[in-house]
């Protein structure tokens, strides 16, 4: 069960790309914990917050079709490193800028950075897997979740000690920039491959097989987006937790997501992608229902943790399958699925915000449990590779 982890953490290229995944998660975990601070800073209601949060996935979705062009022009190695460094800088902006419109622009820049870096670093993983004959996709995504857990917990603790956001975010940015420079020589050692054999960047319309994956990914992405954008708000406004525990809902979610992904490279070959996806949807739905119907700090943290475990292997399975869809140019399946499935992140924040404004936040988050059940049903029928 743990042999693949030993291979991962003793394999220099795996460890280097894992550090990139962890850094992206670390930045994201810090940001999501500060969302309630931004909401209070501009005195936003839930619907307005949902529309503001829409800026990030909207820019990411628009930028994603260009990722193939950028990667073919600059390479997966340069795009990964420069993308991470750019994210370290722009992730400091939303909390620090003085005006609401600037926050929206900053979130858009974050979305662009995520679009390019996400496709590049995942393509690095599939390249390493193919060249070195190892399975590291799930564990790499586990590194992202582990980074998110640490980032969210750290931000929550610093928030409890009333550390100024400017000082906190500046330190985080410097740390990630330093790490990017440390792993750069190893990342640059990955053999460069273009995403498409003809060097083009044409948008590939998904075939029937890929559409099945996209439908599942829409559900998993809405679930992930909801957990990222609304758990801290839920912990403050519904659970009424203090500042020290505001980020622990997301931290629990990220911890169990990371744990599931760290064992995913062993579990997926043993039990099969289909069973893992079906079970994950059922577990995520159960966890959301616990958090909604038992809105207390301990039960909410447990519930969000179950959601993390349920959603943990979704992205590794779907990313890997999309990259291997027959009849599509290399990398095109992954980029195309991202373009469509990111609509989940696009619709999720606004949908939750509007539902919360019209009914309440508990009802809004509860609707995601239904989507988790739908993803379990769809996974029973989808073709995976």
State how far the Cα of 28 lies from the Cα of 175, in Å rounded to an integer: 14
The span from the CA of 216 to the CA of 194, in Å, is 27
Q: For residue 205, what pLDDT is reported? A: 73
The percentage of the chain sitting over the pLDDT mark of 70, rounded to a whole number, equals 93
Quick one: pLDDT at residue 330?
A: 56
For the segment 246-271, what is each residue's pLDDT rounded down to a tens digit? 889 998 998 999 899 888 878 888 88
pLDDT of the residue at 1: 57
Residue 322's pLDDT is 81
pLDDT at 72: 83
**Torsion angle in degrees (nearest 10) through CA of 58, 60, 62, 68:** -170
Reduced to 3 states (helix: H, G, I; strand: E, B; else coil), residue 179 is: helix
pLDDT at 12 over 80: yes
Per-residue pLDDT tens digits for 206-242: 777 888 888 899 899 899 889 988 999 999 999 998 8
Q: How confident is the model at residue 204 (pLDDT cuts 50, 70, 90)?
A: low
d(CA 126, CA 283): 28
What pLDDT shows up at residue 197?
A: 43
Question: Each residue of 139-163: pLDDT tens digit?
Answer: 898 899 899 889 988 988 888 888 8
Q: In this structure, are residues 53 and 222 in contact, taking their beta carbons and an 8 Å threshold?
A: no
Stretch 70-94: mean pLDDT, rounded? 92
Q: What is the pLDDT of residues 326-346, one digit of tens each?
A: 766 656 677 777 777 766 766
> Residue 180's pLDDT band (boundaries 50, 70, 90)?
very high
């Amino acid at each position: 069960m743990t042999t693949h982890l030993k291979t991962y953490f003793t394999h220099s290229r795996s460890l280097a790309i894992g550090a990139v995944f962890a850094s992206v998660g670390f930045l994201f975990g810090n940001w999501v914990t500060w969302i309630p601070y931004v909401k209070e800073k501009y005195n936003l209601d839930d619907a307005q917050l949902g529309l503001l949060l829409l800026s990030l996935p909207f820019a990411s979705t628009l930028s994603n079709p260009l990722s193939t062009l950028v990667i073919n022009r600059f390479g997966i190695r340069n795009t990964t490193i420069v993308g991470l460094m750019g994210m370290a800088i722009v992730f400091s902006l939303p909390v620090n800028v003085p005006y609401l419109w600037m926050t929206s622009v900053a979130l858009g820049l974050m979305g662009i950075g995520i679009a390019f870096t996400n496709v590049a670093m995942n393509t690095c993983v599939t390249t390493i897997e193919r060249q070195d004959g190892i399975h590291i996709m799930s564990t790499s995504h586990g590194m992202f979740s582990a980074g998110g857990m640490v980032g969210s917990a750290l931000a929550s603790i610093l928030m409890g000690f009333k550390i100024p956001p400017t000082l906190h975010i500046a330190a985080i940015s410097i740390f990630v920039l330093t790490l990017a420079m440390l792993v750069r020589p190893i990342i640059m050692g990955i053999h460069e491959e273009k995403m498409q054999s003809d060097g083009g960047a044409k948008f590939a319309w998904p075939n029937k097989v890929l559409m099945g994956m996209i439908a599942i990914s829409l559900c998993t992405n809405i679930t992930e987006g909801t957990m990222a954008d609304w758990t801290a708000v839920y912990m403050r406004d519904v659970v009424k937790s203090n500042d020290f525990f505001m980020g622990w809902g997301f931290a629990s979610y990220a911890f169990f997501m990371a744990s599931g992904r760290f064992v995913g490279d062993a579990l997926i070959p043993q039990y099969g992608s289909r069973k893992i996806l079906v079970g994950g949807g059922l577990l995520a739905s159960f966890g959301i229902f616990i958090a909604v119907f038992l809105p207390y700090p301990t039960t909410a943290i447990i519930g969000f943790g179950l959601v993390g475990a349920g959603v943990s292997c979704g992205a590794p399975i779907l990313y890997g399958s999309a990259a291997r869809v027959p009849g599509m140019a290399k990398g095109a399946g992954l980029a195309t699925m991202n373009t469509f499935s990111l609509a989940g992140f696009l619709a999720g924040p606004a949908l939750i915000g509007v539902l919360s404004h019209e009914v309440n936040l508990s009802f809004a988050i509860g609707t995601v449990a239904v989507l988790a059940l739908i993803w379990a049903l769809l996974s029973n029928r989808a073709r995976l590779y």
